[in-house]
Chains A and B, each alone.
Chain A
């Protein structure tokens, strides 16, 4: 009994110790007493002379069912390479007085297709809205990072935004960072930091969710209904 009480006591003292060492009182934050109150990578104006834009936002929370049912294609593959970042405008240049979105295409070698038919059976591009040019860095934690050679399962969709380029073949991640599942330390288990998928079970997961959707569809608005709804709040 004594031993159990001692262990619980040590544990409680340690939790309190950890809490007070790292709790963010004004004093400790001001003094920076061992506490990193900002990410130093994002506080510099420039790296190698480039201007920095930090993009942050809120994203719609998607369940595994949302990912499965709303993705155009679901694939397993390996990151081949990242292409140089470029602007969303004509000629891929940054324009004046127009909307400029810095984008990066990631080339994926397809190993397996679980849902849909990709525009190319061997290799596809996945476009994310962040990147770096000679004079600009755009950071966005809404999009995941990719590394050459990385094993991934991707939930992908057709770009239906105003910066979409209909003349090019590429996909976007369903639900931004939620659409990328990376291989964990455990073989054959992939995660998007929220859900985990075992490769052996993915076909079953997809089938199960699609059947569930067919039997009991999720309630959601059509694009036309969304447009009409939003006009009530944001005007035409």
Chain B
């Protein structure tokens, strides 16, 4: 093999490998934390003191996932709870609130997993941060954050690519006033379809 051919092959391989990995990065767009629930729909119970706007925001977050194409997966239950402990394993999917600290999460989902499947998920709202429902620039939007947490409940993991993932519901960071997570991106839908559309 002469030097000229060797150079051409090297360029070919470099470009091909680089392209392949760029393609892989673009395509690999969701990941999961468990295999989902074995039986759906799931019902999430709100803390009884939540105001009507908050309950609507939670209900809307559930609806967004139910419209993803994998059937009716999750609903806000008509039953409410008075539990202030988070997390607690009691077979019910509670949404709680508490002052967890300025340097803790906005909202958090704890999945209890048995044999790879979720059996229960508790979601907590950290009221050390300011929340609202109107997309104000001074507060975190409840529906925006809750849509992300319902994604965790159903089995999707956080996305962390600061270039490719920022518009997706499962991107792990939120900013004040942000509402884009209310609407699922195709990758969010693909993730949920992989878990529930058998």
Contacts and interface: CB of A to CB of B under 8 A. Distances in A.
B115 interface: yes
A104 to B, nearest CB: 15
A148 interface: no
A14 B133 contact: no
B131 interface: yes
Interface of B: 11-12, 15-35, 47-51, 53-54, 85-88, 97-116, 125, 127-133, 138-140, 142, 145, 148-149, 152, 155, 157-158, 160, 162, 172-176, 187, 190-191, 193-194, 197-198
Interface of A: 7, 10-26, 29-30, 36-39, 42-45, 51-61, 97-100, 129, 141-142, 157, 159-164, 172-176, 179, 193-194, 219-221, 223, 225-227, 229-230, 232-236
A235 B97 CA distance: 10
A160 B145 CA distance: 22
A44 B125 CA distance: 27
B28 A22 contact: yes
Nearest to A8: B15
Contacts of B16: 10-11, 13-14
A16 B16 CA distance: 10
Contact of A21 (B23, B98, B100, B139): B23
A14 B18 contact: yes
B85 A174 contact: no
A187 to B, nearest CB: 23
Contacts of B32: 37-39
B31 A38 contact: yes
B157 A56 contact: yes
A168 to B, nearest CB: 15
Nearest to A232: B51
Nearest to B176: A60
B106 A99 contact: no
A20 B174 CA distance: 30
B130 A37 contact: no
Contacts of B176: 60
A53 B138 contact: no
A92 B155 CA distance: 30
